[in-house]
Structure 1
Amino acid sequence: MSATRGRLLVVDDDLVQRVLIGKIGAKLGYETVVASSYEAATELLTREAFEIMALDLSLGGRDGVELLRFVAEADLRAMSIVIISGCDDRIMKATRRVANGLKLSLGGCLTKPLDLNRLRSALELPGRAPPAATSASPQFRITPERILRGLADGEFFVEFQPKVALQTGRVVGAEALARWRTAEFGMVSPMVFVPIAEEAGLMREVTDCILSSAMSQGRKLIERNPGFTISVNISGSLMSDLALPDRIEEILRRENISPSSLTVEITETSAMADVDRANDILVRLRIKKIGTAIDDFGTGYSSLAALARLPFSELKIDQSFIKGCASDDDMMKIVDASVALAKAFNMKVVAEGVETPEALEIIRRIGCDVAQGFLFAPSLRRSRAERWISERNALADDQSASATPTALAS
């Protein structure tokens, strides 16, 4: 029988299991190659291509996580990987997170003793459509000078991602996301221009431009929706700039926007880099009635210290926890504990990255106040955001007006 699915690499130091997996792979149409050790596997992966790899986490002197790291460093992310282990459920879940963090193509995680039907299903997946390799980014050179010209020419703007109150269904705010459109490069991702601006010391100019754009473009949203707030990310490099609160206040005055309509979002890592200066800045922002949110909560190394020492008014639970909470009990516990901590500090809780009804139901049940994510809407240009939010709030108001007192209380 000729191979129709491509090549399968079986990495396992157990002879019986190697033979078993190899035979199932052959029956499915793979050309099967086996490796009994980490060293043998890395040698094969260096000189040969495989569509899929079945990997036992225990490989004698080395372990499967080391091999996962090798695969990522060798940029073999298009290869599907089926992980096999006799370890307990928490270790398997953590290994899945390692693979996801390395951006590997995970075909499944199977526990011993092997369920042959599950193994067969996991090995069949790549045959449906081989994972496409990520295309390389366009090769263009963005210079600090080009960023400055873009700022001067008004090429930077914002899009708004709505934030929905879970209790009422109304849109109560939006996150303003930086965008840059150029004539020669098209749309340039913040993943490209922000690091260049950071390195060149231009984040003050970029942030001031984005903040001004967010306030001017978001004026109608604020005027039409009482209590509406717009969130803007502040670069960590600015959290040592003691003049930041005064500059923000000046922008708000120039745009004629109330300070209470703005929330600045700061990652916990940048806030903890210089706690004394960050505390100085955050206290002054709060005195000026500007909201302060700790962003990407849980992804740094000092979350509890940040909550205890710095005067945040809002906590944003990182999307990596929200996306995993419906299927991962450990993630669920982290989200639950994060909400409880925020409530203890009298903070509003925002869940970002809400993409499924299951995740929405969970965060509503455990007490999150606000949610944003693709389940509601992606980031929207100003005119579309205005229409979408107006229609959503009109519908929420109609439902609230027609609801019985019992329904409203539930």
Structure 2
Amino acid sequence: MRGFSRQTEETLGRLLVVDDDLVQRTVAGKIGAKIGYDCLTMPSLELAESVLSRETFDVMTVDLSLGERDGVELLRFVADRGLQNMAIVVISGCDGRVLKSTRRVAQGLGLSVVGVLSKPLNLDELKDALLLPRPKRAAANVPSAAIVVSPERIVDGIRQGEFVADFQPKVELGSGKVVGAEALARWRTREPGIISPTAFIPIAEQHGLMPELTDAVFASAMSQGRKLIDRYPDFTIAVNVSGSLLSDLTLPERIEDVLRRQQVPAHALIVEITETTAMADVDLATDILVRLRLKNIGTAIDDFGTGYSSLAALAKLPFSELKIDRSFVHGCEADEDMMKIIEASVGLGRAFNMKVVAEGVETAETLAAIRRAGCDIGQGYLFSPSLRLARAESWVSQRNEFVAQRAAWMGEQRQAISAPSATVTDGVGRQRIEAAHG
């Protein structure tokens, strides 16, 4: 164990270097001290665990090879100790796929990996990784009263009309136009307010209340979504169906009844089903999905790639839309393996004549990557979170108005360029309308 005091007036915090190689941990410690860290170095996993049990650090660098132990064990220890606020730089002489997989392990544990560096170590890359912004410390959790969700309370909520749908927009990547939205179930009560689906869905499943709950959410989604569908004829609303309902052979008729009551055309609805749910009983799922398609209702395979039988689901079931799970989309621009999965999924979607939707689009870099891969539609926080109807209507209207203005402007420029004596405008108008939309 050795310490290095920072060599700057301002501090970047505390750095822990874990490496069984004396030269490498010394060099890393000195670099950390030079740029502003108070640094402590540890030669083994056991000593690192001991100091992490007593002290706090802002950043840790860890070599994946620690003698007879390995760095993944230390990552699990960090997660078990609740040290998710500590940024981590992973170092290893292993091949790139092992490094990428290690990053995924760390992210799966809820850890923040700010750098993955290969040996021989590039000192400039180490310095850059240590200077990257670190995750903000989470505010102290404020204890709150536990929410008790009972079957009786759910039944009462259904009767009171408390189960409603919010809408997360789906954007066509080629044009930028909003072409649909996913309806997300919400339970709005006076006390304690909004209750998360993770709190009420399992109770409803356990007590056989999903048919009534699904009917309520469907009715809310269609009655509210009708305003968007009426305004934009090709607009679609996607609604998730619980796995417990995929064995209910009356489901197609009940959905059709909701559409009839709300005066919504069948083609404006997409029923989303997870692949694991669909494959639980293929015969029943096929029966239900075929009848939905015969009624001109769209069907989407949700969370594609996360189950055990993705290819079988595509081959056996008549889906019209494939939704790539966010676990593949998030950060895909920096992960060649994830991009290969996305590109393969797009190819499969094309082969089965399906539209391909990428979920969890959160950055411009991710958007550019899924566009290059050929995805048709994007959905995620980069565009918009889930919105209540009034905000959704406003957002969709503004977005589609912008797209129309941009298309008109580009058409004018093409005409101007094709005209022999025309002068092309300077594009200020286009810059003005794009400023608010990116």
| Shared fold per TM-score greater than 0.5 | yes
Which SS does the other structure have where 2:126 is aligned? helix
In the other structure, the counterpart of 1:366 is 373
Alignment of 1:153-192 (within 5 A): 153-192=160-199
AA matched with 1:240:
S
1:388 is displaced (CA, Å) by: 2.5
1:230 is displaced (CA, Å) by: 0.4
In the other structure, the counterpart of 2:420 is none
AA matched with 1:393:
N
- Do 1:51 and 1:130's aligned partners in 2 also have CA atoms closer than 8 Å? no
* C-alpha spacing 1:73/1:129, structure 2 compared with 1 (3 Å): closer
In the other structure, the counterpart of 2:57 is 50
* C-alpha spacing 1:198/1:8, structure 2 compared with 1 (3 Å): farther
1:226 aligns with 2:229: no
1:104 aligns with 2:111: yes
Match of 2:390 among 352, 368, 383: 383
1:62 is displaced (CA, Å) by: 2.3
* C-alpha spacing 1:72/1:270, structure 2 compared with 1 (3 Å): farther
Which SS does the other structure have where 1:154 is aligned? coil
In the other structure, the counterpart of 1:142 is 148
1:401 is displaced (CA, Å) by: 4.9
- Do 2:246 and 2:278's aligned partners in 1 also have CA atoms closer than 8 Å? yes
Tell me the distance in 2 between the aligned counterparts of 1:92 and 1:10. Answer: 18
Alignment of 1:5-404 (within 5 A): 5-28=12-35, 30-125=37-132, 131-132=137-138, 135=141, 138-144=144-150, 145-401=152-408, 403-404=410-411
Tell me the distance in 1 between the aligned counterparts of 2:210 and 2:253. Answer: 16
* C-alpha spacing 1:138/1:303, structure 2 compared with 1 (3 Å): farther
Q: How many residues align?
A: 407
Tell me the distance in 1 between the aligned counterparts of 2:316 and 2:120. Answer: 49
Tell me the distance in 2 between the aligned counterparts of 1:140 and 1:191. Answer: 14
* C-alpha spacing 1:377/1:129, structure 2 compared with 1 (3 Å): closer
Post-superposition CA distance 1:201-235 (Å, at most 9, x none): 33222222111100001111111211221001112
* C-alpha spacing 1:316/1:405, structure 2 compared with 1 (3 Å): farther
Stretch deviating more after TM superposition (164-173 or 82-91):
164-173
Tell me the distance in 1 between the aligned counterparts of 2:171 and 2:19. Answer: 49
Post-superposition CA distance 1:252-285 (Å, at most 9, x none): 2222222211101111122222222222221221
AA matched with 1:337:
A
Stretch deviating more after TM superposition (74-83 or 26-35):
26-35
* C-alpha spacing 1:357/1:106, structure 2 compared with 1 (3 Å): closer
1:290 is displaced (CA, Å) by: 1.2
Which SS does the other structure have where 2:198 is aligned? helix
- Do 2:163 and 2:187's aligned partners in 1 also have CA atoms closer than 8 Å? yes
Which SS does the other structure have where 2:267 is aligned? helix
Stretch deviating more after TM superposition (242-251 or 3-12):
3-12
| Larger RCO, structure (CA 8 Å, separation 6 or more) | 1
- Do 1:297 and 1:317's aligned partners in 2 also have CA atoms closer than 8 Å? yes
Tell me the distance in 1 between the aligned counterparts of 2:211 and 2:279. Answer: 19
- Do 1:10 and 1:18's aligned partners in 2 also have CA atoms closer than 8 Å? yes
- Do 2:112 and 2:135's aligned partners in 1 also have CA atoms closer than 8 Å? no
- Do 1:105 and 1:131's aligned partners in 2 also have CA atoms closer than 8 Å? no
* C-alpha spacing 1:15/1:198, structure 2 compared with 1 (3 Å): farther
* C-alpha spacing 1:35/1:205, structure 2 compared with 1 (3 Å): farther
1:353 is displaced (CA, Å) by: 2.3
Tell me the distance in 2 between the aligned counterparts of 1:363 and 1:211. Answer: 30
Larger Cα Rg: Structure 1 or Structure 2? 2
* C-alpha spacing 1:399/1:107, structure 2 compared with 1 (3 Å): closer
Question: Given the two structures, how large is their TM-score scaled by the length of structure 2?
Answer: 0.84
1:136 is displaced (CA, Å) by: 6.5
- Do 1:77 and 1:133's aligned partners in 2 also have CA atoms closer than 8 Å? no
Tell me the distance in 2 between the aligned counterparts of 1:137 and 1:260. Answer: 46
- Do 2:85 and 2:135's aligned partners in 1 also have CA atoms closer than 8 Å? no
Stretch deviating more after TM superposition (307-316 or 278-287):
278-287
Q: Percent identity?
A: 63
Post-superposition CA distance 1:321-363 (Å, at most 9, x none): 2232222222221111111110101111112222333333333
Tell me the distance in 1 between the aligned counterparts of 2:95 and 2:189. Answer: 51
Which SS does the other structure have where 2:385 is aligned? coil
Unpaired stretches in structure 2, ≥5 consecutive residues: 416-438
Tell me the distance in 1 between the aligned counterparts of 2:409 and 2:61. Answer: 56
1:31 is displaced (CA, Å) by: 4.5
1:291 is displaced (CA, Å) by: 0.8
In the other structure, the counterpart of 2:427 is none
Which SS does the other structure have where 1:218 is aligned? helix
Tell me the distance in 2 between the aligned counterparts of 1:129 and 1:321. Answer: 22
Unpaired stretches in structure 1, ≥5 consecutive residues: none
Tell me the distance in 2 between the aligned counterparts of 1:229 and 1:406. Answer: 32
